Amino acid sequence: MSSAPALVEAHNLTRVFDVSKPWLNRLLEGERRRLLAAVTGVSFTIGKRETLALVGESGSGKSTVARMIVGLLPPTGGKVAIDGIDIWAPASAAQRQRLRRRLQMIFQDPYASLNPRWRVDRIIADPIRAFRLAADRAEIEARVGELLRLVGLDPADGRKYPHEFSGGQRQRICIARALSSNPEFIVCDEPTSALDVSVQAQILNLMRDLQDRLGLSYFFISHNLAVVKHMAARIGVMYLGRIVELAPTAELFAAPRHPYSRMLLDAVPDLAMTGRRRKPIEGEIPNPIDPPAGCPFHPRCPSAFDRCRAETPQLLPAGSAMTACHAVAAHKI
């Protein structure tokens, strides 16, 4: 675990969406409100120069967490603090703007991440202008050129439009934009999922280089365990809106504790062709509007017992990791 002071602290984050039908329909059809608990009780810290990853399948809530952390979606409960300041309750608008400058985000879809009608230099300069980080146009231009070079592109590319670039190049432009405000912390929401494998390798290497060189912290969201193993120091596994395991990378892969983590690891295809036998996996992710009682994983869990059906497990330490599992807590597995 990192000994550096925590840059980012998420405490008991919760987000509930109201997915009920419009009130008139509810009135006429006699239906109740329907609430979707996308994220429940998520807590973690990220230190300076550290990468924390959140892994999960669709419906796990990891993207929702990312949006709450970065300030795009207000949480219904809990708080997010950057350097001790609650980003959802800043003292003033100026403080909020100062906080904004320190965080940035890289998105999944390189095609929707860039405004197709703006030139690349304008896109990258947007944060510089918004935070008034440069004195005049010449300075902005110089900075944009420098950023383009930093991500492996030509400064002359600034005059082009996004559609003239490939997926990997666009993602580099997104990274350049994210870096333009000199942030300390970048949230990466599946940044390479839409890219080819060889391009993914380029982008991941680039991100690591930038982290080393600029001292960045990353919050890395992905569904791909292999990618996450490569990028993160610590990994959180999410299932149906909760963190079920939070462990240092090496430990998670060597000895996963939570049954879901084991299942996920088992499901990763075996490229090394070790001939590993895979246990067939049962069931599918339940509907988040109507989650199972107690531990949300119990219908699919091979180690479930009565306590699992009654009580939702808390995230408790188990070795150097943390797990939310009654079976682990009771030393059954």
Site for another protein in 246-285 (CB under 8 A): 249-250, 253, 263-274, 278, 280-281, 284-285
Contact region for another protein (CB under 8 A) — 31-39, 197-205, 306-314, 316-324? 197-205
3-state secondary structure of 210: helix
Which CB sits closer to another protein, 33 or 279?
A: 279
Q: Choose, by CB under 8 A, the member of 62, 177, 242, 257 that binds another protein.
A: 177
Nearer to another protein, 187 or 246 (CB): 187
Per CB under 8 A, 27 contacts another protein: no
Please identify which residue in 26, 102, 229, 307 interacts with another protein, judged by CB under 8 A.
229
Establish if 207 lies at the interface with another protein (CB under 8 A).
no
Q: Is 71 in the site for another protein (CB under 8 A)?
A: yes
User: Whose CA is closest to 147, among 122, 112, 184?
Assistant: 122
Token reading at 180 = 């333009």
Q: Which of 9, 86, 109, 251 binds another protein (CB under 8 A)?
A: 109
Question: Of 190, 204, 124, 205, which is closest to residue 157 (Cα–Cα)?
Answer: 124
List 49, 102, 143, 208, residue binding another protein (CB under 8 A): 208
Give how many residues touch another protein by CB under 8 A: 83
Q: Candidates 9, 126, 141, 251: give the one binding another protein (CB under 8 A).
A: 126
Residues in region 280-319 near another protein by CB under 8 A: 280-281, 284-285
- Among 131, 182, 303, 307, the residue binding another protein under the rule CB under 8 A is 131
Question: Using CA atoms, how far apart are residues 278 and 37, in angstroms rounded to an integer?
Answer: 32
Cβ nearer to another protein, comparing 103 with 327: 103
Q: Which of 233, 238, 245 is nearest to 333 (CA)?
A: 245
Using the contact rule CB under 8 A, the part of the chain among 26-34, 163-171, 306-314, 322-330 near another protein is 163-171
Measured from the CB atom, the residue of 284 and 306 that comes closer to another protein is: 284
CB of 267 to another protein, least distance (A): 4
Query: Is 279 or 314 the residue whose CB approaches another protein more closely?
Result: 279
Are 171 and 195 in contact by the 8 Å Cβ rule? The answer is yes
Q: Residue 31 interacts with another protein (CB under 8 A)?
A: no
Please tell me whether residue 127 binds another protein under the rule CB under 8 A.
Answer: yes
